[in-house]
Structure 1
Amino acid sequence: MSDLTIPAAVQNGQNDAQAAANSGQGPAYLPDFKTSTPGTMGIELELMVLDRLTYDLFPAAPDILRLLDKEDKPWVHTPEITTSMLEVATSILTSFDAAAEQLEHIRQTVQRAAFEVGAAISGGGAHPFQKWHEQRIYPKERYFASERKYGYLAKLFTVFGMHVHIGAGNADEAMRLTAWLTQRAPLFIALSSNSPCWQGEVSGFCSSRSNVVGAFPMSGILPFEIRTWQDFRDHFDALAGHGIVNSIKDFYWDVRPKPEYGTIELRVLDTPLKPVHAAALACYARELVLEWVEQPGRWPANGSRELYVWNRFNAARDGVEGSWIDPESGATIGIVEAVRADLARLRARTRDPGFVTACGVIETLMRDGGQAGWLRAHLETGGGMNDLARMAAEMFEHGAP
C-alpha cells in the first residue's frame, strides 16, 4: 500500500506510532511493508563536520543544518547522533547519471553551508584521530534514548556510513532480496573501505568503521530461516516481547528491510571520499537486486553465518586486496575478481546507460589498494593524522574524479 492510498489521518497515526517507537517513548511498532517499484534507489550519506584549521571533528552540525533548512532542494538533511556529523539523503533515483548529479548538488550545497560557519565537510568511514569521549550527543530525544540504552557505545558510534535503499516490490520479496544482497555485502565493505585509522592509531584494517557496529546487540544479518514477511513479523514480535527491540531501527543488520519505504537497505559501506564513488557503488547494488528480481523464487543455497562473518572480516581487514569465499560455489577468489565478474555480467543486462561509467568508477576504486590504500600511502610518505583528515576533506571538496 502506498502513501497515496492511505487516508491522511491513518498515515499520521502510523507516523506518530513509528516516531514514538523509534525514540523508545512508545510501544514497539513495526509498520506494514509499503509496496514499491523494484530497483528504485535512494542514497544516504553520513558526513563528517571538521574544523577548517585542525581538521578535527567540529560540533557545528546544528548550525549547518539550520542553513540547509533555507535551501529549496530535492534531497533531505537530518542530524545524526553526535553534533559533528550530519546525514543527507537523496530523492528516489533510477540511474547512475541522476545519482551522480544529485550527489554533486548535495556536495556543493552542504559545503557552502559548512564554509559559512567555519567548517569543512568530508567523507570517510571514521575520523582518523578523534576521541569518542569528546563527542557531544545531538540534542534530540531519540539520541538521548540511545545514549541511555547503549552508554558509551552511542558516542563510540561517531562513524560515518553510506546506506543504499533499493525498492523491493513487496514484503515477501524483500526478505528474499535481503538474503541475496547480504551474501554480497562484504564486497561493498571492501570497495568502500577508507577508514584505516582509529582513535589516532593505524588500525591494521582497511575499514575500522566496520568493527564498531558489531558491539551493538542487534548487529549481524537476517537469520537464514526467515523466508517471509510474516516470519520476520513473528521474529520482531518475539524480540519486542522481551524488550529487546522497539522498532526496525533497533536492527543493526548489515542488510535490513525498511518497511515504511518499501526497500531493503544496504548499510555496510564507509562513506566514500567522493560523491561519484557513492553513485557508482549504489548502482552496483541496484543492478544486483534487479538481476535477482528476474529470478523469482530463487534463494541463496548457503546461509552460513560463520562463512558470512569470515568474508566480512577479510573485507574489512584487507579491502579490495582481500579474498571472498563464494557462498554458492564454495570457491575462494579475490575480491577484485569477484567484483569484475559481477560487473561484466551486469553490464550485459543493464538498462541504465550510465552503468558503464559506474563500472569505470568502480575499477578506479580497485586500483592501488582502493581508498584505504591511497590513505595508507599518504601515511607511509610521512604524512600525519591531521594531514590524512585534510587530504580526505580535500578529496570531497574537489568532488569530480
Structure 2
Amino acid sequence: MGAVARESVRNLTVGVEEEFFLVDTSGHLSNAGPDVVAEVGEDISGLQRELSRPQIETATGVCSTGEEVHEQLRTLRSSLVKVAADRDLLLLPSGTPLMVEERPAAITPTPRYQQMARRFGPIVDSVTTCGCHVHVGIPNREIGVQVSNYLRGWLPVVLALSANSPVHNGRDTGYHSWRHILWSRWPSAGPPPRFDSAEEYEGIVDAMIASGAALDRGMIYWHIRLSDDQPTIEIRIADVAMTAAHASVYAIAAKGLVGWALRCIEEGEAVDSPRIELLRAEQWRAAREGLDGECTSPVSTRTLPIRRQLELLHDSVSHILGAEDRAFLEAGLDSMLRDGTGAERQRAEFERHGSTADVLALLTREVTS
C-alpha cells in the first residue's frame, strides 16, 4: 500500500464540476437550463442539466496544475456567458439565488428528477443551490475511504474558504454559506462517517438507499464521497465560486489535501478523525462565520481561528504540491485573504448599496476572472 500511495502523491490529477444559475437581466431565475443544454451541450465540455430548470453544470477535463484548471474554467465560463447573452440571460455564480421569486424553481422534466420531487416534496423546492465539486485521482477505493477519513477534519476550513452565498431572497442571511444550510435539508447530505474499509462504505451506501433517504448512489450527498464513474475522490462541500480564480484555488487546495492524506497513509501517521456530531457543529459555524470563525484543527486537535487554519493547510500541503502549484496556491490564498472570499465580497457590496442588483452586477462582472 505504501508504494501505491507514494506513486499517487507524485501524479495527482484534478477535475472540477461547477453549477450555475441562468437568470434574466433583473436577476430572476430563468427556466432555460434544459433548452441551453439541448442546443449547445455538444459544444461545451461536460454541460449537463440539473435538478431545477434554472441550473446548468459544466465539468473540466482532467488537469494536472492549478493554471490548467484556471484556464479551463475561464474558457467554460466565458462560453456559457456568451450562450446566455445570446438569449438575453446572465450566468450567475452564486451558491443561492439572489432575488425573491414568486414560485419555486421548476423541476427539470426527467423521470429521476420527477421521482425525487415526489419522494422529497418541499425539500426539493428549498434546495435550488449551486455548488462546486472537485475530483482528485486516487489509486483505488480502499485507499479512497482512508483518504476520506483524513480529509473530514478539514471540511469546516474548506467550507469557510469557499463560501459564496450570503444573499438569498433579496436579503443578507447573516451566513457566509446559506447554501450549506439549505443543502443540509437532504437526508443524505452532510459530512461522511468514518469508515473502516471500502466494504463498510458500500454497506452504508446500500443501507441509505434501502432506507429511502436516497433514491440511488447519485443521491449520496456526503461532502466527501467516492466517485462511481471514475477513480476519484470527490470533495463537494463548496459553493460555486464567484470567480474562476477562486474555484481554482479551492481545487488545488483539495488536491494538496488529498496528497497530504496519501502521504499520511504511506508513512503511517495517525490523524484524529472528529466525531460526526462535532463536525456538523463546526461546519455550521464555518457556514455562519466564514473565515472569522474557529474550529478544531485536524493537525493539532486544538480550537484555532480559521484564518490560522489556512496557514496550517498551506504548510501541510506545500511539500506535497509541485513548485508551480505551491506558488499558485500561495498567491491565490493571499489574494482571497486580501480581497475577500466570494461571501465577503457579496456582503460588502450589499452593505455598500443595500441592493441585490449591485450584488448581481458584481457577480456577473467577475464570473470569468
- Answer whether TM exceeds 0.5 for this pair: yes
Distance, in Å, in 2 between the alignment partners of 1:343 and 1:194 is: 21
1:190-230 CA distance string (max 9 Å, x none)? 11112112222321111100101211111222222x21111
Distance, in Å, in 2 between the alignment partners of 1:229 and 1:215 is: 26
Distance, in Å, in 2 between the alignment partners of 1:115 and 1:174 is: 41
Runs of 4+ in structure 1 off by over 3 angstroms are 130-134, 237-246, 297-300
Kindly indicate whether residue 157 of structure 2 is the aligned counterpart of residue 184 of structure 1. Answer: no
Q: SS at 1:373's partner residue?
A: helix
Distance, in Å, in 1 between the alignment partners of 2:275 and 2:104 is: 39
Kindly indicate whether residue 50 of structure 2 is the aligned counterpart of residue 80 of structure 1. Answer: yes
Which of 204, 222, 228 is equivalent to 1:235?
A: 204
Q: Which residue of 2 aligns with 1:4?
A: none
Distance, in Å, in 1 between the alignment partners of 2:316 and 2:102 is: 43
Aligned runs of 1:326-345 on 2, under 5 Å?
326-345=297-316
Which of 121, 124, 127 is equivalent to 1:157?
A: 127
1:334-359 CA distance string (max 9 Å, x none)? 11111122213423442251431232
Which range moves more in the overlay, 342-351 or 57-66? 342-351
Q: Which residue of 1 aligns with 2:241?
A: 272
Instruction: Please report how far the alpha carbon of residue 106 of structure 1 lies from its aligned counterpart in structure 2 after TM superposition.
Output: 0.2
CA contact (8 A) 2:152 2:274 kept: no
CA contact (8 A) 1:166 1:263 kept: yes
CA contact (8 A) 2:150 2:273 kept: no
Alpha-carbon spacing, 1:342–1:237, altered in 2? closer, same or farther (3 Å): closer
Which of 17, 31, 56 is equivalent to 1:59?
A: 31
Q: SS at 2:254's partner residue?
A: helix
Q: Which residue of 2 aligns with 1:46?
A: 19
- What's the TM-score once normalised by structure 2's chain length? 0.91
1:344-387 CA distance string (max 9 Å, x none)? 34234422514312321222222355222222221222231222
Distance, in Å, in 1 between the alignment partners of 2:84 and 2:360 is: 16
Q: SS at 1:164's partner residue?
A: strand
Instruction: Please report how far the alpha carbon of residue 120 of structure 1 lies from its aligned counterpart in structure 2 after TM superposition.
Output: 0.8
Distance, in Å, in 1 between the alignment partners of 2:23 and 2:213 is: 35
Which of 288, 307, 324 is equivalent to 1:317?
A: 288
Distance, in Å, in 2 between the alignment partners of 1:238 and 1:275 is: 37
Which of 71, 74, 87 is equivalent to 1:101?
A: 71
Structure 1, unaligned stretches of length 5 or more?
1-35
The one-letter amino acid of 1:236's match is: V
Kindly indicate whether residue 114 of structure 2 is the aligned counterpart of residue 144 of structure 1. Answer: yes
CA contact (8 A) 2:292 2:306 kept: yes
Distance, in Å, in 1 between the alignment partners of 2:339 and 2:244 is: 20
Which range moves more in the overlay, 213-222 or 292-301? 292-301
CA contact (8 A) 1:68 1:110 kept: no
Q: Which residue of 1 aligns with 2:98?
A: 128
Kindly indicate whether residue 283 of structure 2 is the aligned counterpart of residue 304 of structure 1. Answer: no
Alpha-carbon spacing, 1:369–1:41, altered in 2? closer, same or farther (3 Å): closer
Q: Percent identity?
A: 24
Instruction: Please report how far the alpha carbon of residue 243 of structure 1 lies from its aligned counterpart in structure 2 after TM superposition.
Output: 4.2
CA contact (8 A) 1:129 1:199 kept: yes
Instruction: Please report how far the alpha carbon of residue 327 of structure 1 lies from its aligned counterpart in structure 2 after TM superposition.
Output: 4.0
Instruction: Please report how far the alpha carbon of residue 240 of structure 1 lies from its aligned counterpart in structure 2 after TM superposition.
Output: 3.9
Instruction: Please report how far the alpha carbon of residue 175 of structure 1 lies from its aligned counterpart in structure 2 after TM superposition.
Output: 0.5
Alpha-carbon spacing, 1:47–1:237, altered in 2? closer, same or farther (3 Å): closer
Q: SS at 2:57's partner residue?
A: strand
Instruction: Please report how far the alpha carbon of residue 105 of structure 1 lies from its aligned counterpart in structure 2 after TM superposition.
Output: 0.8
1:39-59 CA distance string (max 9 Å, x none)? 22110000111102x121111
Q: Which residue of 1 aligns with 2:3?
A: none
CA contact (8 A) 1:192 1:269 kept: yes
Distance, in Å, in 2 between the alignment partners of 1:229 and 1:345 is: 26
Q: SS at 2:192's partner residue?
A: coil
Q: Which residue of 2 aligns with 1:25?
A: none
How many residue pairs match? The answer is 359
Aligned runs of 1:255-270 on 2, under 5 Å?
255-270=224-239
